[in-house]
Amino acid sequence: MTTNKNLYIVTTSEGKQVELTTAKVLKSNNLYPFGMHNYAIYETPEGLFVKATNSGEREIMLTDYALIDEAAARTYDHPYYRVDE
């Protein structure tokens, strides 16, 4: 078995593997330095919606992934924002 390092495959909190390589980003915040303000909402070609968040990691933009329904994806309002000091 070969591993394609060009694929963006994540494991959600539900234990499902989802490929996000060609997913559409509905909304996101990828500001650096990374932290809890980072998130992305993805829609996959298969019609799945994934919420990706950061648990406070400074070196990785997104650390946690969860499946959500379409209504939650389209109306998502992230509770954290970056505070510049």
Tell me the per-residue pLDDT of 25-60, one tens digit each, with 9 for 90 and over. Answer: 999 999 989 999 999 999 999 999 999 999 999 999
User: For the chain, how many structural domains are there in total?
Assistant: 1
pLDDT at 5: 80
37 within domain boundaries: yes
80 within domain boundaries: no
Question: For residue 78, what are its two tokens?
Answer: 């992230």
For residues 14 and 66, what is the distance between their CA atoms, to the nearest angstrom? 7
Q: Global pTM? A: 0.90
84 within domain boundaries: no
Domain limits at 35? 9-75
For residues 55 and 60, what is the distance between their CA atoms, to the nearest angstrom? 10
- Reported as a single tens digit per residue, the pLDDT across 2-23 is 567 899 999 999 999 999 999 9
